[in-house]
Amino acid sequence: MKSKSTAKAASKRITSHPSTASTNGNSPKPKKMLIGGRWVSAASGKTFPTYNPATGEIICQIPEGDRPDIDAAVRSARNAFENGPWRRMSPSDRGKTLWRLADLLEKHTEEFARLESLDNGKPLAVARGADLPLAVDLFRYMAGWCTKMLGNTIPISVPYAPGERFHAYTVREPIGVVGQIIPWNFPLLMAAWKLGPALATSCTVVLKPAEQTPLTALRLGELIQEAGIPDGVVNIITGFGETAGAALAAHPDVDKIAFTGSTEVGKIIVRAAAIDLKKVSLELGGKSPNIILADADIDSAIAGAANAIFFNHGQCCCAGSRLYIQNKHFDKVVDGIASAARKIKVGPGDRPDTEMGPLVSEEQLHRVLGYMRAGDKEGAKTVVGGGRLGDSGYFVKPTVLTNTKPGMKVMDEEIFGPVVCAIPFNQVEDILPIESDNVYGLAAAVWTRDISKAHRIASELRAGTVWVNCYNIFDSALPFGGYKQSGWGREMGAEVLDLYTQTKAVCVRL
């Protein structure tokens, strides 16, 4: 289905999306990647296409970076870290630079939203209303941290040195050269989540965007230059995971690797990083429980449950894919979410009334369709949806399943599509053992009017985020990340800064 459309067809497609005349904006020319402040092709000269998932047409060609390009980018990041002005810049000036980047991104909101929608498939309105403002805010939030990377003074006793006095303090220092590998579900926002804290802590970076969605990261590279971030501080290498990604994760001169993506690849990254014990942070998959109690405001719980699974077409690591409904309201909630699913306008991201776009790629289309078939085979009942929508582009129907139980693939595995398992329960105590067997622990939600119950359940769920009477609420100040196999470390908030700094203790005899 990946149509081998001609450059002419691609450019025809593209002219319907106005943009600036930048090198890495939405223009049909082959893109370049960023190494040491220069825009370059892959050392091999190879390129690969990025597709419009609404049509399967090629948008443009992207450099296929591989080990030699990663080597050059790491050299450039190392040089910028050791010898460049970034670390020596005053914290205030570094903060102003990051703030400038946020301003530039905000100024180009429309262009970025169009590019994101084109490359990823998400509705333009979603890119404009969620991805862009969140990315802008993240850079602003991180700009503020540049001047607040505090250490402590520590009164020490040293029991074996009676009578002696010491002055001891800690300093937080940048971890160094960071490799960052990001996915395709929120391409720009994931770049912001990764770059923001790395830059605020004076690290230098080699960023590898997902091969499915490289366009906004490359365009961001131009704004990074325009904002005055020195050459070599951010290097962007496009390419595939098994080649460019693997070379970055195993590179001996990378001090830390930050990864967002599948749990399977997360484990590969850990093994690669173990060779020289580089630091690792991981934001991985999920199979998140969304629990509606009988005393909840049922209408808002239904709307929230639909948002939990259908937002971004279910391509969210925190998607509320296990919907537990207390018996009394099971039929009402299933009817409600099924009717919400029927009403969702599925279509190309650039159509103004589109509420759900295509899945990101042909691979994801087949993966999600495979889960739908597995559900059928294992005895799940499809209340609404099931299967592909249309025969061009990577569209699937928003889907609600019942009759699911642990042990079924649809119940146990991350589907990463708009497919929810609705499960009735008698009392919360029945759910908790199932959830304690959940290998994931990224997010959870509970809907209830009983404040004590809400807090009690929140304390019992082993998840990095628990939402109460809401879902998919994100903020730059709120840490996000996984318990169990959903990851290591937290993105955003003050906590992410720990992932990019190390503490030095200095002890002075007085």
Task: Please list the active-site residues.
Answer: 283, 317
User: Which CB sits closer to ligand NAI, 1 or 7?
Assistant: 1
- Binder to ligand NAI among 265, 280, 372, 454 (CB under 6 A)? 265
**C-alpha of 219 from chain center:** 18
User: Which CB sits closer to ligand NAI, 262 or 502?
Assistant: 262
CB of 421 vs ligand NAI, minimal distance in Å: 15
- Say how many Å lie between the first and final Cα of the chain, rounded: 73
- Binder to ligand NAI among 179, 232, 261, 375 (CB under 6 A)? 261
- For residues 429 to 468, the per-residue mask of contacts with ligand NAI, x marking binding by CB under 6 A and - elsewhere, is ----------------------------------------
60 neighbors 50 (Cβ within 8 angstroms): yes
User: Which CB sits closer to ligand NAI, 222 or 283?
Assistant: 283
491 in contact with ligand NAI (CB under 6 A): no
- Tokens standing for residue 170: 């800690």
- Say how many C-beta atoms besides its own lie within 10 A of residue 222's C-beta: 18
**By beta-carbon distance, which residue lies closest to ligand NAI?**
241
475 in contact with ligand NAI (CB under 6 A): no
206 in contact with ligand NAI (CB under 6 A): no
User: Which CB sits closer to ligand NAI, 185 or 202?
Assistant: 185
What is the DSSP secondary-structure string of 258-273? EEES-HHHHHHHHHHH
The percent helix, strand, coil of the chain (3-state, each to 5) is 40, 20, 40
Residues 232-251 touching ligand NAI, rule: CB under 6 A, are: 240-242, 245-246, 249
By CB under 6 A, which span of 7-15, 77-85, 161-169, 280-288 interacts with ligand NAI?
280-288
220 neighbors 105 (Cβ within 8 angstroms): yes
**Count of chain residues binding ligand NAI (CB under 6 A):** 26
- Binder to ligand NAI among 118, 136, 268, 341 (CB under 6 A)? 268
183 in contact with ligand NAI (CB under 6 A): yes
| Burial class, 307, CB count within 10 angstroms (exposed 0-12 / middle 13-18 / buried 19+) | middle
Angle at 115 between CA 114 and CA 116, to 5 degrees: 90
CA distance 79 to 31: 25
Q: Cβ neighbours of residue 495 under 8 Å, at least 6 residues apart?
A: 479, 481, 489
CB of 263 vs ligand NAI, minimal distance in Å: 7
CA distance 26 to 119: 10
Q: Cβ neighbours of residue 50 under 8 Å, at least 6 residues apart?
A: 58, 59, 60, 61, 62, 119, 211, 212, 213, 214, 215
CB of 109 vs ligand NAI, minimal distance in Å: 23
- For residues 153 to 182, the per-residue mask of contacts with ligand NAI, x marking binding by CB under 6 A and - elsewhere, is ----------------------------xx
- Binder to ligand NAI among 117, 120, 260, 312 (CB under 6 A)? 260
57 neighbors 13 (Cβ within 8 angstroms): yes
- Tokens standing for residue 236: 């962007």
- Binder to ligand NAI among 75, 328, 367, 388 (CB under 6 A)? 367
44 in contact with ligand NAI (CB under 6 A): no
What is the DSSP secondary-structure string of 191-252? HHHHHHHHHHTT-EEEEE--TT--HHHHHHHHHHHHHTPPTTSEEE----IIIIIHHHHH-T
Angle at 294 between CA 293 and CA 296, to 5 degrees: 70
CB of 319 vs ligand NAI, minimal distance in Å: 10
Residues 392-421 touching ligand NAI, rule: CB under 6 A, are: 414, 416
User: Which CB sits closer to ligand NAI, 48 or 240?
Assistant: 240
285 in contact with ligand NAI (CB under 6 A): yes
CB of 281 vs ligand NAI, minimal distance in Å: 13
- The total number of residues shown for the chain amounts to 510
CB of 448 vs ligand NAI, minimal distance in Å: 28
CA distance 365 to 383: 20
- Partners of 312 in the beta sheet? none
CB of 241 vs ligand NAI, minimal distance in Å: 2
Chain contacts with ligand NAI (rule: CB under 6 A)? 181-183, 185, 208, 210-211, 240-242, 245-246, 249, 260-262, 265, 268-269, 283-285, 317, 367, 414, 416
